[in-house]
Amino acid sequence: MITKKQILKYAKVRGYDKVEKYDIVWNGYEVWHPGFNGDGVAIIGFPLVILVKGNEIRMSTRDESIEVLMLRYPGLGEETEED
């Protein structure tokens, strides 16, 4: 089983400062959000997540990230009609 310390090390090697575990499971994977220290907003590209299952740890693909975001934020991207 991979520990939070190992996930943080994985993230730091890829330039991130911290990780936060999302409260969801996607296709059997724990979902971790890599982030940066500081007060500013860091936009570095498409929002990828770290996926962990058993002894496997990896970055998501863009398509996987879209699925994770849709699961975490239901209704994201849906158009709403104003009365």
Q: Is residue 81 a part of any domain in this protein?
A: no
Q: What is the pTM of this model?
A: 0.84
Lowest-pLDDT range, 15-24, 30-39, 56-65, 72-81?
A: 72-81
Q: What is the pLDDT of residue 81?
A: 63
Q: Is residue 83 a part of any domain in this protein?
A: no
Give Rg (Cα) of the chain: 14
pLDDT mean over 70-77: 83
Residue the block writes with tokens 């158009």: 79
- Structural domain range at position 68: 4-72
Q: Is residue 78 a part of any domain in this protein?
A: no
pLDDT mean over 5-20: 96
Q: Is residue 79 a part of any domain in this protein?
A: no
Structural domains of the chain, count:
1
Q: Is residue 80 a part of any domain in this protein?
A: no
d(CA 31, CA 51): 5
pLDDT for 29-59, tens place per residue? 999 999 988 877 766 778 899 999 999 999 9
Q: What is the pLDDT of residue 42?
A: 67
